Structure 1
Amino acid sequence: MPRLRRTEFPTFPYATPYAIQIELMRRVYDAAERSKTLGVFESPTGTGKTLSVLVGALSWVDDRRKARLRGEKLDDEDEDDAAGTKPSDTNEPDWLREYDTKRRKTDADEVERRRGARRAELRARAKAAETRVTLKTNAEKRLREKIESTSTTQRAIDPHTAEENEFLVDAYDSGAEGAREDLRALLRDDEEEDDDEDDFSRDEDEALRPAQQIILCSRTHSQLTQVIGELRSTVFGGKVAKAEEQVAAAAIAGRAQLCVNPAVKNLGSAARINERCLEMSKSKTTAKDKAVKACPFLSKRRRALLELKEAALAKPMDIEDLAKLGTTRKACPYYAARSALPEADLVLMPYASLLHADTRESLGVKLENAVVIFDEAHNLVDAVYNSYGASVSLEQVRDVLDMLTTYVDRFETRLSASNLRYLKVLTNLTRAFVNVLQKEIAEVKKSAPEKRLTSLNDFLFECGQDTVNMFSLRRYLKESKVAHKIASYGERIRAGHDASWGGDWDGVGQVKIEAVGGSKFAVAPDPNANPRVSAVHALTSLIDALASADTDGRIIVERDESGTSASVRFILLDAASRFKRVVQQARSVILVGGTLAPIPELVSQLFPELNAATSKTVESSAHALKMFSCGHIIPRDNLLPLAVPVGPTGVSLDFTHGARSNVALIDELGRIVLNASRIAPGGACVFFPSFKYADDVYERWTKSGALASISAVKDVYREPREASALEQCLRDYAVSVRGDGAVTAGKPRGAVLLCVVGGKLSEGINFKDELGRLVIMVGLPFANIADAELKARMDHLDAGVGNQGRGRAYYEALCMRGVNQSIGRAIRHVGDYACILLCDQRWGACGTSASRTKAAKALPDWIEQRLVVPERNFGEIQMRLAQFFKARTRQS
C-alpha cells in the first residue's frame, strides 16, 4: 500500500518557514509514517526545532485521520497484512476492493463522527464546568465574607480571665450561622453526586481512542512546558477554530509535581509523597478514628475529577496549569492526568517516566503503535543509565534491617508461610549488605581503595547470598507490595502510633488536623524526621537491579571521604539492553536535539546493531535508521568560531590534565580573557573543565592580579556550586550586561561569567543576544579515565569481537558532547551573533587550517564549517575578533 507523503506544511503557524524547518518537518513526518523507523535528527537551537517537530508529527496524525475517511487501507489496520499472510490486493477482483474501500470509509466516518462529537462534548463540558466553578467560587467568597462580617469581634483577652475562657459560650449570630450552613451545603455539592467507585473515567468506546499517539519526552518539566507553549501557537493547539484538527494533549508527571494536597506535598521526598498518596487513595472513609483519612482531592470527588480530566483534554495544559486548576476545583491533577492519557493524541512526559519499564507500566503508557519522540536527546544515554541505576547506603540498610525485624516480630503469627519465607530471605540479604558495608569501613585503616568494582555474581558471593533467586525475590516484592507495608509500618512506629494500631494499612501517623482553604487535611510529621521510607525503596531498587544479567551491570562498593559510611551502587553498562524495549514496542522512535554530535557514537550506544559511521540511512532486518543534521538559520557571518592554540605571549595552550596546572599557562589564559573582554561587548561566558580547575584558576588570577585587571573591564561572576544560589548569580550577571549597574562611556560594563562544563549553566540556560556575545572554552573537558564507573563502561564497550575502540569513542564523545552543549548556549535565534574561542592546541596548531583535528570534526557541522585556525599567532585572533564585532555593530 502506498505510504503517506507530505512536502508542504500549511499548518505551520508562520507564513514562510525556513527551508531547514520544512526539511525537519518532512523528516519527522516520514519517520512516523514508516513503521519501525529510528530517526536521529539534529537541528540547532534557535531554528524552531520544537515547533517543526510538533507540526511534522501532528500533520502526520491528521493526514492518517483523513486517509481513513477516504477509505484508504493503512499499514496498522490489518494484522494479516502486517504478518504478511493476507494475499495482495492485486489478486482480488475490483468489486471486492471497492467494497473494502467503501466499508473502511463508512467505518471511519462513523468513528470520526463519534470522536468529533466526543471532542465537542469535552470542550462544551469543560466550558460549562469552568462557568459553574467560577459561580461557585464567587458564592463561596460571598458567604465567607458574610460569616466574617456578621461574627462578633473578639475582645482583647484579659490575662487574668484567660483561664476561664473554656467556660465562655461561643459567640452566636443567626445570620452567620445561616451563612455557615449555606457554605457547608455549597462545599458538599460535588460530593453528593459522587459514588465510591475507584474508576472515575467515563466508559468510552475503545474506537474513540486515537489510532496513533505521539509521545513526546524531554528531560525536564520546564522543557515540556515550552512544548505546550509552541503547541498553542498552532491549529493543533486551538489557535485557529478548526475543531477537527485540534488535538487532545495530556501532560504526565509524578505525584511530587502534581499533588495539591498540602498534607502530602509538604512531606518533602518523592518516596514519602508516593507512599502517603497510595495509602490515602485506598482509604474510603473520612471517619475521625482513622489514622489518615482518604484524600479530600480524590475521595468522593468523581464529578470534579471527570471535569478536570475533560478540561485537560479540551485545551493544552502544562503541569502548572493542571495543578492550579486542580487546586481551584479541589480535584487531584495526578489521577486526572492519568485518566486523560488514553484519549490523548499527544502525550508529554519526562524521560524518566517513559524509560523505566515499571514506571511506564504504572502510569498506563502504551507504546504499541505510538510514535515516541525524545527531544533534547543528547541526554538520552545518561537518562537510561540513571533510570536503571540503584544505590543504598549503610545507614539505609541498617534502617531497613531494623524495620524488617520489627515487622516480622510483630506479625509472625499472622503471616502466611510463603510470606515468612520470603521475608526471611529479604532479612538475611539485608543483614549481609550491612556486614559487607561495615567491613568496607573497617578497611579504611588498611588504606584500601575508597571505591572498588565487582560483578553482580561476585558481589552476591561475597555477601554469602549467591544462592538467592533474585528473580523470584524481585517478583515477590513487586506483586506483594510488601515494601510499601514495611515502610508504612516503620514510619508508624517512629510516629508513635503502634500502640493503638490494629493492622489497618490505610495511612501513616499524623500529628494534628489543620484547616486549609475551608477543608481539613492531615498534617504530616516533619519530613526530615524519618528518611526510612526512601530507604526501603532504595533497597528494593537495588534488588531489582541485582536480578539483571551479570553482563548488564557492575556493582561499586565505596566509602565516603570521611571513612565513616559506605554504600553499594549498581551501574548499568549497556544502555541499549534497556532502550531496545522501547524500540521494539513503539511504531517509530525519533531522537531530536539541538546538539547531538557526535551522532555516530550516540547511535552506537542506543542502536548497536546499526552502524551509523558511514551513511545517513542504515537498514537492518527489523529497523531503518534515518539521520539528518541541518545547518543554522543565522547568516554565515553571525558566528565566528576561532581555534586558539597560543596565547598573547606565545605560550602554547596545552590544557591536558597533566599540564593544565602550569602557572604560566593559567596566567596566559588570564591575558586571553582580558584581551577578549576589552573587544567583545556584553557578556562573556568562560567554560572550565571542572569546578576544581575553575577554583584553581580563580585563586591564581587573584594572586597574580589578573582577576583585578579583568574586573576593571567587566564585572566577574562565578557559577555557584549550590543550585539555590544560581538564580541570583544569573540575575546579577544580567544586570551587569544589560544595564542598571556600572557603566563605561555611557554603556553597560558587561560581565564575565566563569562557568563549568556539566554544570547548571552549560545546559538549559539561554545566553542569547548580549548575554552571550563571547564564549570561551578552556581545554577539553575529558572525564577522569580512572573513575571506576567510566572505566567499567569503556571496558564493556570494548568487549566482544570487532568492538575494540568503542570504549575510547564513548570517552571522547562524552567530552565533545559537553563542549557542544556549552558553546551552543550563545546563538539562540536568527538575528543573534557571537564569537567562540576554543582555547587549546588540540583544536589545531597555527597554519593548519586546511586540515581538521579529531576534536574539530566532532563539532556540529554548522560550527565546524565556520571554524577558523590562525595562520600565525594570537595577534591574528585578536584582529579577527575586533573585525567581527565591529562589523556586527555597523549592522545593528
Structure 2
Amino acid sequence: MAIFKQPVKKRKINNSRNLDVSNGKSKSNDDSIMTDDSSANNSLMTEDEDENIEPKIENNLPKKTKAIIPVIYFCTRTHKQIEQVIKELQRTSFNNARSCVLASREHTCIQDSNIYYPQISYKSKTELCRDLLDPRARRRNSIKLRRQIDRCNYYDNGGVKISTYGQLAKFGVPSVWDIEDIVRLGITKHSCPYYGTRLLLKTAEIVFCPYNYIIDPVIRRTMNLKLKGHVIIVDEAHNIEDQCRDAASLQLDQTNMNLAKADCEKIYKSSGNSVTYGRLARYLSDLSKWIDEKSNDIKTYDEYNRGVLSWSGTYTIASFDDFGVGLKAFEIFKKDCDTALADLAEENESDETKNSKKENIENELGDENETIENNSSKDQDPDSAITNATKTLLSSICSVFSLFYDEKYKYDYHVSLVKVMQLKKFEHKERGIMTGIGGWLNSGPEEPKDTRPVWNNVVSFLCLNPAAVFDELKSTVRNIILTSGTLSPMQSFQSELGTQFPIALEAAHVIKQDQCWVTSVSVGPSGTDLNGQFQNINTYDYQDEMGKVLLDVCTVVPHGVLCFMPSYTLMDKLYNRWQLTGLLNRLNQIKVVMCEPRRGDQLEELMAKYYAAVRGDEGGPRGALFLAVYRGKISEGLDFSDNNARAVVAVGIPFPNYKEESVKHKKDYNNKHHKNKGLLPGWEWYQIQAYRALNQALGRCIRHKNDWGAILLVDSRYEQPKNQSGLSKW
C-alpha cells in the first residue's frame, strides 16, 4: 500500500459533534484539522434525508464546514471486485454511509431495444440509449420506421424515483447498495438506474467505480466528477501505470475523423452564421491532410497488408505546423470544442425541458396532446449540435493534444501511423437510420449490397509517461491511496508516476506457512525440460509434457485447479494438441476442463458452470480445471476461495510481447530517460511487468486466513535466484 498526501494549508475549525447553540456559537471538546479547500461539495447530510437534525443547529453551523467533508472514491478494475468490496463494507459499522456505484449502461440500462427498434441489432446498450435520447436520431428513425419514436420511457422519469437516499430507504434499499439492488429497483419503479445513480452521486459519501472513471480525463469530465479536495483509493493499483498511459494516449481513425468533420460542416452550413463549426471542420480537414501526406510515404507492407511509419512527438509537432494544425491552431480548436460541447449540452437540456413541459400538459389535457407532440418535434432543429460520436472524438483530441503540446510532456510521446486494408460495406441507396457509435454508422433492416477493400489510416499518439495523467490527479485531490498485493517494488511506482509516497506498507500474508505449499517444477514426468521460452513451447515434447504435469496435478488435487498461461495463443495450442493426443479426454475424466473466453460477456455463464463443477452439482467428475491467461479476467477480481482453487499452476513467465509497439517504445523510452527522470532501465521495467502479472495470478489461490492450497511454478527458469526475487513477499 502506498499513500500520497496533498500538502495543504491547515486551519482549525470547531468540531460539530458537541455544539452549544444557545448563543449562536459552536464549541467542541476536541479540534479537527481540515483543509482550507471548500470545493468538496458533498456534506454528510441533506435536509430531506436526515430528519433528526434540528434546523436551529443546522443554521448555527459555521458555513464553511458544510462543504468540507471529503468524498471517498474507491476505484478498482472490475465491477465484480466492486461487488466484493461492497459486501465487506456492508459487514462493517460504516454500513450506513451513503454510497454510490458508477457503472456503464451495459450494467445499468433496463431498456429493451425490441420495443423501439425491433429491426435494428444494437451492439451495445450505449448505442441504444444515445439514439433514444438524441432528438435527431429519433426523428430519423421515426421517418424510417414510419411510426413515432418517443424518448426512452425510463429516462423520462429522470431517475426521480431513485434519485435520493431517502427514496432508497423508503423502498428498502440500504445506504450501501450494489448494482443489482439499483437495477432491481429501477425495473420495479419504472425509472432509469443509470441516470438515477448520477443523481445519487451528488450527495454520496463514498463512490465506487472502475478506475478509468477517475484516471481518464475524458470520462471524468463526461461524468462531471469533481475530485478537488477528495480522497481516492485505488485497489488493484498494480495496473495504474498502464491505465495512466492509456488515458494520455489516443488512436485517431481517419474514417471516424472524416465523419466528425462532415458532422461539423453540416451544422456550419445549416446554421449559416456559426464560424465555430466551420473552424472545427477545417481543423479536422487539415489534420486529415497531414495523415494523407504521411500515408503516401509508406512503401512497404506486411503479410496483413499493413504499413507502419512512426516518429517522435517533437518531430510530429514540428510537422503539424506545416499543415495548419500547430499549437496556435489547436488553442483555437480547443475553444471551439468547448463551444460545441456547450451547444450539445444546451440542446439536450432544452429537449429535456420540452419533455417536462409536455408531461405537465399531458396530465392536464389527457388524450388531446397529439397536436402538441407533432408541433414539439417540428420545433426541434436536428442539425443544431454535434452527435455524441463527434463529441467523444473532439473531447479525446482536446484531452490528449493538451498534454501532447505541453512543454513538460512533449518528449514523452511516440506517434505511429498504420495504413491497413479493410473491408467496407457500401449501400446502393442511402438509408435514413443513424445508429452505431453515437450516430455515425448507418444500419437498418436492409442487407449490404456491396463489400469492397479500402485503405484506412489510424494514427496513434502513444504516451510513454504515466505521470502525464497522474500529475493532474495528485495536484487536485486530498489523498491518493494505492493498494494491491503486487505493488512491489515500490520504487518503480514512484518513478513512473513521478510521485513520492511518504507512507508505504509491505505486509506479510495472514496465513501460516503450512497453509500454502509452493514449489517450482523444472522437468515433467518424462524428464523433459519445461523451459517456457518461445522456441520451446512450439515443440510437441514441451506441449505433451505440460499436459502430463496437469494430469498429475488434477489426479492429486481435489476440487478446483487454475492453470495460467502467458497467452491465448499458447492456451489454444496446448488445448488442440491435447485434444489430438487424447490427453484432454483423460483430463476430462478427472475434472471438467474449461478455457477462459476472449469475450467478457461469455465469462459469467462459464464461471457458473465452473463453480457448479467444483461443487459436483451435475455428477460426473468432481472438480474443474480452468485454463486461463495472465492479465485476463480470471487472474483478477474473481472469487476462487476455498475449494474453488486448491491449486494454482503458473506456466512460464508472462513477459509482455516485446514485438508490440507500446512495449518496444516504452523500453526504449526508459533506457533513454532512466537517469534524468529516475526511471528503471527498460529491461528492469520489462521484467517487473512480468512478475506483477505472475503474482496477481498466484494470488487467486489463498483468499482468507483459513484458506489453503498449492502453488506450482512450472518453468525451469524459476530455479534461478534472479527469477525467484520477483515473487511477492507474501
With the shorter chain as reference, the TM-score category is 0.7 to 0.9
Structure 2: which amino acid aligns with 1:815?
Answer: A
In structure 2, relative to structure 1, the CA distance for the partners of 1:256 and 1:446 (3 Å cut) is closer
Match 1:380 to one of 204, 220, 240: 240
Match 1:770 to one of 638, 643, 646: 643
- CA–CA separation in structure 2 for the residues paired with 1:122 and 1:297: 33
In structure 2, relative to structure 1, the CA distance for the partners of 1:405 and 1:261 (3 Å cut) is same
- 1:301-347 residue CA offsets vs partner (Å, 9 max, x unmatched): 69647656753797222333334434444445445434443433222
Matches within 5 A, 1:508-523: none
Match 1:790 to one of 649, 657, 663: 663
Deviation of the 1:832 alpha carbon = 2.0
User: Which runs of no fewer than 5 residues in structure 1 stay unpaired?
Assistant: 1-26, 38-61, 81-110, 125-203, 239-246, 490-503, 508-517, 523-530, 611-623, 846-852, 863-892
User: Which residue pairs with 1:858 in the alignment?
Assistant: 726
User: Which residue pairs with 1:248 in the alignment?
Assistant: 98
Match 2:714 to one of 836, 839, 858: 839
Structure 1: which amino acid aligns with 2:716?
Answer: Q
Please say which of residues 728-737 and 654-663 is displaced more in the overlay: 728-737
In structure 2, relative to structure 1, the CA distance for the partners of 1:225 and 1:208 (3 Å cut) is farther
User: Which residue pairs with 1:537 in the alignment?
Assistant: 392
Match 1:723 to one of 593, 600, 620: 600
- 1:694-716 residue CA offsets vs partner (Å, 9 max, x unmatched): 22223333444443443444343
- 1:328-384 residue CA offsets vs partner (Å, 9 max, x unmatched): 444454454344434332222321221133443454433333221112212222222
Judge conservation of contact 1:717–1:752 (CA < 8 Å) in 2. Answer: yes
- CA–CA separation in structure 1 for the residues paired with 2:638 and 2:711: 17
Structure showing the higher helix proportion among its residues: 1
1:630 aligns with 2:507: yes
- CA–CA separation in structure 2 for the residues paired with 1:123 and 1:70: 17
Partner secondary structure for residue 571 of structure 1: strand
- CA–CA separation in structure 2 for the residues paired with 1:741 and 1:305: 40
Judge conservation of contact 1:638–1:834 (CA < 8 Å) in 2. Answer: yes
- CA–CA separation in structure 1 for the residues paired with 2:689 and 2:269: 50
User: Which residue pairs with 2:701 in the alignment?
Assistant: 826
- 1:100-141 residue CA offsets vs partner (Å, 9 max, x unmatched): xxxxxxxxxxx99x95976422999xxxxxxxxxxxxxxxxx
Deviation of the 1:639 alpha carbon = 0.6
- CA–CA separation in structure 1 for the residues paired with 2:303 and 2:554: 51
User: Which residue pairs with 1:480 in the alignment?
Assistant: 339
- CA–CA separation in structure 1 for the residues paired with 2:298 and 2:18: 67
In structure 2, relative to structure 1, the CA distance for the partners of 1:763 and 1:381 (3 Å cut) is same
In structure 2, relative to structure 1, the CA distance for the partners of 1:651 and 1:293 (3 Å cut) is closer
In structure 2, relative to structure 1, the CA distance for the partners of 1:272 and 1:696 (3 Å cut) is closer
1:573 aligns with 2:441: no
Task: Say what the alpha-carbon RMSD is for the aligned residues.
Answer: 4.6
In structure 2, relative to structure 1, the CA distance for the partners of 1:633 and 1:325 (3 Å cut) is same
Deviation of the 1:691 alpha carbon = 1.1
- CA–CA separation in structure 2 for the residues paired with 1:270 and 1:457: 40
- 1:3-33 residue CA offsets vs partner (Å, 9 max, x unmatched): xxxxxxxxxxxxxxxxxxxxxxxx99xx69x
- CA–CA separation in structure 2 for the residues paired with 1:731 and 1:589: 36
- CA–CA separation in structure 2 for the residues paired with 1:778 and 1:363: 41
- CA–CA separation in structure 1 for the residues paired with 2:576 and 2:312: 42
Matched positions, count:
626
User: Which residue pairs with 2:449 in the alignment?
Assistant: none
Matches within 5 A, 1:749-768: 749-768=622-641
1:707 aligns with 2:584: yes
User: Which residue pairs with 1:317 in the alignment?
Assistant: 177
Structure 1: which amino acid aligns with 2:235?
Answer: D
Matches within 5 A, 1:67-216: 70-76=28-34, 115=45, 119-121=49-51, 207-209=65-67, 211-216=69-74
User: Which residue pairs with 2:653 in the alignment?
Assistant: 780
- 1:839-883 residue CA offsets vs partner (Å, 9 max, x unmatched): 1122115xxxxxxx2322222212xxxxxxxxxxxxxxxxxxxxx
Partner secondary structure for residue 547 of structure 1: helix
- 1:624-653 residue CA offsets vs partner (Å, 9 max, x unmatched): 521112222223211111011222333332
Partner secondary structure for residue 634 of structure 2: helix
Judge conservation of contact 1:298–1:332 (CA < 8 Å) in 2. Answer: yes
Structure 2: which amino acid aligns with 1:347?
Answer: V
- CA–CA separation in structure 2 for the residues paired with 1:255 and 1:735: 29
Rg comparison, structure with higher value: 1
Deviation of the 1:837 alpha carbon = 0.9
Deviation of the 1:690 alpha carbon = 0.8
User: Which residue pairs with 2:428 in the alignment?
Assistant: none
Deviation of the 1:392 alpha carbon = 3.0
- CA–CA separation in structure 2 for the residues paired with 1:533 and 1:277: 12
- CA–CA separation in structure 1 for the residues paired with 2:558 and 2:304: 53
Deviation of the 1:776 alpha carbon = 1.1
In structure 2, relative to structure 1, the CA distance for the partners of 1:858 and 1:65 (3 Å cut) is farther
- CA–CA separation in structure 2 for the residues paired with 1:467 and 1:661: 48
Identity of aligned residues (%): 24
User: Which runs of no fewer than 5 residues in structure 2 stay unpaired?
Assistant: 9-13, 20-25, 55-61, 354-366, 375-385, 405-409, 423-453
Judge conservation of contact 2:521–2:714 (CA < 8 Å) in 1. Answer: yes
In structure 2, relative to structure 1, the CA distance for the partners of 1:434 and 1:322 (3 Å cut) is farther
- 1:783-840 residue CA offsets vs partner (Å, 9 max, x unmatched): 1223211122222223333547432222112111111111211222233211111011
User: Which residue pairs with 1:455 in the alignment?
Assistant: 312
Deviation of the 1:720 alpha carbon = 2.8
- CA–CA separation in structure 2 for the residues paired with 1:292 and 1:324: 26
- CA–CA separation in structure 2 for the residues paired with 1:707 and 1:311: 51
In structure 2, relative to structure 1, the CA distance for the partners of 1:75 and 1:228 (3 Å cut) is same
- CA–CA separation in structure 1 for the residues paired with 2:670 and 2:297: 29
In structure 2, relative to structure 1, the CA distance for the partners of 1:558 and 1:390 (3 Å cut) is same
- CA–CA separation in structure 1 for the residues paired with 2:401 and 2:652: 39
Deviation of the 1:532 alpha carbon = 8.2
In structure 2, relative to structure 1, the CA distance for the partners of 1:703 and 1:483 (3 Å cut) is farther
In structure 2, relative to structure 1, the CA distance for the partners of 1:591 and 1:36 (3 Å cut) is farther
Deviation of the 1:578 alpha carbon = 1.0
Structure 2: which amino acid aligns with 1:75?
Answer: I
Judge conservation of contact 1:483–1:536 (CA < 8 Å) in 2. Answer: no
User: Which residue pairs with 1:58 in the alignment?
Assistant: none
Deviation of the 1:730 alpha carbon = 3.3
In structure 2, relative to structure 1, the CA distance for the partners of 1:761 and 1:403 (3 Å cut) is same
1:674 aligns with 2:551: yes
